[in-house]
A and B are shown apart, each in its own frame.
Chain A
Amino acid sequence: GKNEYDLLVIGGGSGGLACAKEAAQFGRKVAILDYVEPSPQGTKWGLGGTCVNVGCIPKKLMHQAALLGSALKDAQHYGWNIAQPVHHTWSVMAQAVQNYVKSLNWGHRVQLQDKKVKYFNMKGSFSDPHTIRGLTKAGKETIVTAENIVIATGGRPKYPTHIAGALEYGITSDDLFWLKESPGKTLVWDVSLECAGFLTGVGLDTTVMMRSIPLRGFDQNKQFFSPTQQQMASLVTEHMESYGTKFLKRCFPIKVEKLESNRLRVTWKNTDLGTEEADSFNTVMWAVGRAPDTETLNLEAVGVKTNSETGKIIVDASEATSVPHIYAVGDITEGRPELTPTAIAAGKLLARRLFGHSSEMMDYDNVPTTVFTPLEYGCVGLSEEAAVQCYGSDNIEVYHAYYKPLEFTVAERDATQCYMKMVCLRESEQRILGLHFIGPNAGEVIQGFALGIKCGATYPQLMKTIGIHPTCAEEITKLHITKRSGLDATVTGC
């Protein structure tokens, strides 16, 4: 045989692992390369990619730690006697989270072994369209050839290198989840609501500096968190403000210097006032977007085309690149959501098309997602603004409501930002175009409705669905006040 492997996957993250394991199920000879270039601060991790090591998983666990902090406060109202003071120890949380992540790394290794996928802990680059040159940490080289190659190397956080001291003194999410000691007083630039949220929640002095508007940083994916998601974004940030996160709006950093005390001094420009200000922090975290990890792949050698602006790999509806037999899935691909579940689904379907005689393509429409801020935001489908742009404001109807979760009542928690809205077509059928929910357990709430939207759910069908009482989700089945009417949208009663 010409090529050693039927399939070689470069990148052992959500997309890569799913693709490799699925292909192996068809009895194919599969290999996977995974390598983690240490961050500028020296942080590295094991098999599993961003999601497992420096993304979804540790993020959700630290978010949970923050939520538990609120639960401790609520508990007193519900009769639990907890002697004050209550405090949080970062290192206990960090170790527990890091141990769990390591167990997942291990689990993936075992799974690859079970499914007979050959694993190389090497950094891959192209020699020719069917040949990959792998390099170990020690510099040892191995050549691997394959009939089909899937690039799934994902992305890494960008550094604002134009800011003096950014690289030397700042950290990113790559480092945050692996810190052994508390980050202390932290500055985050630009908007990273989830991280700022849980840092605040575990009791740290946290400041978010933003150049312009919240959630703007995610606008690579026009469908998600684009600048047009203003209403939802401002509700989420309003909540965080009352939660204790500090916001420095319309500012941008100029330089970072290290002080004798080892603290960091950040100088920034306040564009509103036109002045320069400064303060010191223990930690400065950069959240200025992620860049696709294509630098060292040597794509030019084989002619895989990338988007000149974003650097991401251009693929068609079947995840094929510009070069036959070379494919790409996950965060590295242009125009796709940067989400684990879509990468996994795309990877699996690709394997089935290549080796399982399937012709099913990935459906990227109506992908639900959730932002795990202190008050969570879940959504599926079109934003209100996107719907208006697509259909015209006369042709859409927006139903909305402000509600109060039952559990907030006894806990005396503020529910001002608990809000939901449904965007529908106005014509007879009233098909639902988008659903947005801010509140506790937003992900759990939205998931089932995403299914409904996949089935073409209409407003009348939703109204026929009986609610489960008492929950937050039931309020969705009771939405009836339109934005157009201008009536008060606050839910009252039982």
Chain B
Amino acid sequence: LICLQEAAKYEKKVMVLDFVTPTPLGNSWGLGGTCVNVGCIPKKLMHQAALLGQALQDSRKFGWQFTEEVEHNWMTMTESVQNYIGSLNWGYRVALREKKVTYENAYGEFVTPHTVKATNKKGVEKLYTAERFLIATGERPRYLGIPGDKEYCISSDDLFSLPYCPGKTLVVGASYVALECAGFLAGLGLDVTVMVRSILLRGFDQDMANKIGEYMEEHGIHFIREFVPIKVEQIEEGTPGRLKVIAKSTKENEIIEGEYNTVLLAIGRDACTRKIGLEKVGVKINEKTGKIPVNDEEQTNVPYIYAVGDILQDKLELTPVAIQAGRLLVQRLYAGATSKCDYVNVPTTVFTPLEYGACGYSEEAAVEKFGEENIEVYHSNFWPLEWTVPSRDNNKCYAKIICNIQDNERVIGFHVLGPNAGEVTQGFAAAIKCGLTKEQLDSTIGIHPVCAEV
């Protein structure tokens, strides 16, 4: 979307095709993509709902008084969230119209060079030609490929608009999607179990990942480790119904069974590149992952076809990265700019019950790249002031920075586990971009009393 609005600024004739293939359970949504509809936005709002549940408990210690029994109403929350998303969908439609970008709610696929066929919901086909094309079709959740998965399980595509409370939930997976969803569901008072095949948060600093898992476990989320589901059966229909999950150990021959109201699959996402006619125009994709390799100017192997976002090979699956890449691409194409997207030191945050913000190298990656003797890790636990009065965990929040001794003790990795991790991390990311060293960090005065000063 960013590309389109930017290109239209330069008086180019621009068109966008957006189409949402319904989920196996029939769910669909409006303009805006994953982030707006089934990602960042609803996720953060539901995370906020869970945090507010905690705030309610804290507030009693700060003198607030109200009834002992406080319950959460899933429908009230979901309606509010969906209404807000609806306003964003609408906002995008209006913005595209104002910027004179032609929008069609149709499924696009290449048919011949420079030509795309657009099929709308009713099956009506139209052909469009263009000088240049941008593929930004993103991804969709992966299914397990076991009996009962598509019939009875939901994914994040369904969760944020689920028209009934999910109840006792099994989350399958250990990705940030799995942990974030498990986190807020538990925060809303639901009985949550997470089934993990091997490690948590693959690709993230494992020291931090384990602390996140520990915290979640200590706060009531059950973890079943080293098991994978092999079958899902329906015991009883309903909203929610009752499901039986049979799982097998990854190590021995053990089989276990469990009963849940909802099974949420969060085992990964697949790029939407297999059915859009890429072979017809010669765009190469990675056959195994479905992702599209591009050069540092987001160009595919076909010169007039570009790609941005989650479908790119070896790039981070993050909204701000997609936006930045898209905007700079258009500025290079139509405004004579030369800036390329800087994919180094991109900060990110996992919105688990104890939030995790990071920028730069994980400890393992730093050790591998520079050698253990060449890096110094400075770390500290901290106790947010706001947690003192309500007697919340006094040794769980944690921060560490990784420095490259050979390069003036330059800060090459930043990790923080604590409240408002995203807000804390953002500024540090900017500082790291400016080449922050340990000495400069030490000479910067802290703001008191906040978590970030640690």
Q: Which residues of A contact B (CB under 8 A)?
A: 51, 56-57, 60-61, 64-65, 68-69, 71-72, 74-75, 77-83, 85-94, 96-97, 100, 202, 339-342, 345, 363, 366-370, 378, 406-407, 409-410, 441, 443-452, 454-458, 461-462, 464-474, 476-477, 492-494
- The reply to whether B66 and A72 contact each other, CB–CB distance below 8 Å, is yes
Q: Is the CB of B66 within 8 A of A82?
A: yes
Q: How far is the CB of A151 from chain B (nearest CB, A)?
A: 21
CB distance from B376 to the nearest CB of A (A): 18
- What residue in chain A is nearest B94 (Cβ atoms)? A492
Q: Assess the B62–A466 pair: CB atoms within 8 A.
A: no
Instruction: For A368, give the chain B residue with the smallest CB separation.
Output: B447
Q: Provide the residues of chain B in CB contact with A466, threshold 8 Å.
A: 318, 320-321, 324, 342, 346-347, 429
| Chain B residue at minimal CB-CB distance from A471 | B422
Chain B residues 305 to 339 lying within 8 A of chain A, measured CB to CB, are 318-321, 324, 339
Q: How far is the CB of A183 from chain B (nearest CB, A)?
A: 13
Least Cβ–Cβ distance between A81 and chain B, in angstroms? 5
Closest residue of A by beta carbon distance from B58: A68
In the complex, residue of chain A having the shortest beta-carbon distance to the beta carbon of B426: A473
Residue of A nearest to B43 (CB): A470
* Known contacts A78-B52, A444-B450, A465-B347; 15 further A-B pairs (Cβ under 8 A): A72-B66, A80-B71, A82-B70, A89-B63, A202-B63, A342-B445, A410-B48, A410-B84, A447-B450, A451-B444, A457-B430, A466-B321, A467-B426, A468-B422, A473-B427
Nearest chain A residue, comparing its CB with the CB of B64: A88
Tell me whether A68 and B62 are in contact (CB under 8 A): yes
Q: 14 pairs across A/B with beta carbons < 8 Å?
A: A51-B448, A61-B62, A61-B385, A72-B64, A80-B71, A92-B65, A378-B447, A443-B450, A447-B424, A447-B450, A451-B431, A465-B345, A473-B422, A494-B88
A468 lies within 8 A of B425 (CB): yes
Q: Give which listed residue, A56, A78, A454, A468, contacts B320 with CB less than 8 A.
A: A468
What chain B residues lie within 8 Å of A64 (beta carbons)? 62, 385-386, 389
- Smallest distance from the beta carbon of A375 to chain B beta carbons, Å? 15
Asked whether, in the complex, the Cβ of A469 is within 8 Å of the Cβ of B35, the reply is yes
- Is A494 a contact partner of B56 (Cβ separation < 8 A)? no
B66–A60 contact, CB under 8 A? no
B443 touches A468 (CB 8 A): no
Contact B55 A454 (CB under 8 A): no
Label chain A's interface by main secondary structure.
helix
* B382 in contact (CB, < 8 A): no
A462 and B429 alpha carbons, distance in the complex (Å): 9
**B388 contact set on A, CB distance < 8 A:** 61, 100
Q: Please name all residues of chain B whose beta carbon is closer than 8 Å to the beta carbon of A445 when the two chains form the complex.
A: 423-424, 426-427
Could you say which of B75-83, B105-113, B196-204, B360-368 contacts chain A?
B75-83
**Are A450 and B318 in contact, CB atoms less than 8 angstroms apart?**
no
Q: Is the CB of B434 within 8 A of A455?
A: yes
Contacts of A94 in B (CB 8 A): 63
Q: How far does the alpha carbon of A483 sit from the alpha carbon of B36 in the complex, in Å?
A: 30
Q: Does B248 contact A (CB under 8 A)?
A: no
State A136–B433 Cα separation when bound (angstroms).
54
Which one of B95, B345, B444 contacts A493 once the chains associate, using CB atoms below 8 Å? B95
Of B66, B385, B389, most A-chain CB atoms within 10 Å: B389
Collect the chain B residues with CB atoms within 8 Å of residue A455's CB.
431, 434-436, 440
Instruction: Enumerate chain A residues within 8 angstroms of B444, measured Cβ to Cβ.
Output: 366, 368, 450-451, 454
Give chain B residues whose Cβ lies under 8 Å from the Cβ of A79. 49, 72-78, 80, 188
A441 / chain B contacts, CB cutoff of 8 Å: 420, 423, 450
Judge whether B431 and A452 touch: CB under 8 Å. yes
Chain A CB within 8 A of B61 CB = yes
Given contacts A406-B44, A466-B324, A494-B35, contact A444 B451 (CB under 8 A): yes
Which residues in A have their C-beta under 8 angstroms from that of B385? 57, 60-61, 64
B429 lies within 8 A of A448 (CB): yes
A468 touches B49 (CB 8 A): no
Q: Is the CB of A369 within 8 A of B447?
A: yes
B240 within 8 A of A: no
In the complex, the chain B residue whose C-beta lies closest to that of A339 is B448
User: Is B91 engaged at the interface, CB distance under 8 Å to the other chain?
Assistant: yes
Contacts of B80 in A (CB 8 A): 77-79, 410
A-B CB proximity, top 4 nearest: A448-B427, A93-B63, A79-B77, A473-B426
Of B347, B386, B451, chain A has the most CB atoms within 10 Å of the CB of B347
Distance in Å from the Cβ of A194 to the closest Cβ of chain B?
A: 13
Q: Given A88-B65, A473-B426, do A407 and B45 touch, yes or no (CB 8 Å)?
A: yes
**Chain A proximity of B2: nearest CB distance (Å):** 9
Given A69-B64, A202-B63, A406-B45: A447 and B55 interface contact (C-beta under 8 Å)? no
Q: Give the nearest-CB partner of B428 in chain A.
A: A448
Closest to A337 in B: B445
Residue of chain A at shortest CB distance from B68 = A83
Tell me if B67 is interfacial: C-beta within 8 Å of chain A.
yes
The interface residues of chain B lying within 8 Å CB-to-CB of A462 are 430, 433
Instruction: Answer yes or no: B213 CB below 8 A from chain A CBs.
Output: no
| Residues on B with beta carbons closer than 8 Å to the beta carbon of A80 | 49, 52-53, 56, 70-73
CB of B210 closer than 8 Å to a CB of A? no
Q: Is the CB of A492 within 8 A of B429?
A: no
The minimal Cβ–Cβ distance linking B352 to chain A, given in whole angstroms, is 14
State A69–B58 Cα separation when bound (angstroms).
Answer: 11
**Docked-complex contact A81 and B36, CB < 8 angstroms:** no
Q: How far is the CB of B441 from chain A (nearest CB, A)?
A: 6
Is B215 located at the chain interface by the 8 A CB criterion? no
CA distance A40 to B293 in the complex (A): 74
Q: Distance (Å) between the CB of B400 and the closest chain A CB?
A: 15
Bound CA–CA A494/B36 (angstroms): 7
Task: Quote the shortest CB–CB distance from B30 to chain A (angstroms).
Answer: 13
Chain A nearest CB: distance from B75 CB in Å?
8
- B321 adjacent to A451 (CB under 8 Å): no
